[in-house]
Amino acid sequence: MAFYDSQLDVLYSSAQLQARIAELGAAITADYAGQELVAVGVLKGSVVFFSDLIRQIDLPLATDFLGLSSYGSGTETSGVVRITSDLSRPIEGKHVLVVEDIVDTGLTMQFLIENLSTRKPASVKVCTLLEKPSRARVQVPIHYKGFVIPDAFVVGYGLDFDEKLRNVPFVGVMRR
């Protein structure tokens, strides 16, 4: 029995995640055919999704990461977004694909899109594993999305609760 079995209910299994990520990778490959792409992973939550996704994209691909924070140690966003780690290389003139684990209020993604746009990329598009539209405070363009989820606190597959449970191999809902 795994350490998390008594805490979580499976929302999306590992097999469901991998099947959807293959579809996303194929769509991204088709949309950027003949172009170079910079995939930017948003730390820390997207790391597992990012790693699986980039292996499904059949293009010349550069990767980079940036860190953002809006949660602290709670389960509710503070609404204040800050960059904790910036890109390591310029993106001017590049096609940028932001890879995120979850978009819920949209505030963090809105901040990030606005910030990256000031750096004069050729384009900025967003790929998220999960979208929680019931919590949206602002509408942000999501070009590629894995799953639309209900208003529940989810963990696993990179998503955490107080920096724990990222290593769970599926997306789960915490039991009350």
Domain 8-174's class? alpha beta
Of all residues in the chain, what percent carry a pLDDT higher than 90? 85
- 142-148 contacts at long range (C-beta below 8 A, 24 or more positions apart): 142/103, 142/109, 144/24, 144/27, 144/28, 144/97, 145/103, 146/17, 146/20, 146/21, 146/24, 146/49, 147/12, 147/20, 147/171
- Give the residue numbers annotated as catalytic, written as ranges: 104
Q: Residue 69 has what pLDDT?
A: 81
Using one digit for the tens of pLDDT, what is the confidence trace for 59-93?
999 999 999 887 555 555 556 888 999 999 999 99
Would you kindly state where each structural domain of the chain is located, as residue ranges?
8-174
Helix, strand, or coil (residue 11): strand
- pLDDT class of 18 with cuts at 50, 70, 90: very high
Q: Is the pLDDT confidence value at 95 over 80?
A: yes
Average pLDDT over residues 84-107: 96
Q: Residue 77 has what pLDDT?
A: 57
Residues β-bridged to residue 172: 10, 155
Asked if 9 and 152 touch (Cβ cutoff 8 Å), the reply is no
Closest to 19 in 3D by CA, of 53, 45, 43, 65: 53
Average pLDDT over residues 36-59: 97
Average pLDDT over residues 85-112: 96
pTM: 0.92
Q: Is the pLDDT confidence value at 102 over 70?
A: yes
Q: Residue 75 has what pLDDT?
A: 53
Using one digit for the tens of pLDDT, what is the confidence trace for 117-141?
999 999 999 999 999 999 999 999 9
Q: Residue 4 has what pLDDT?
A: 84
Q: Is the pLDDT confidence value at 116 over 90?
A: yes
Determine how many CB atoms are found less than 10 A away from the CB of residue 5.
9
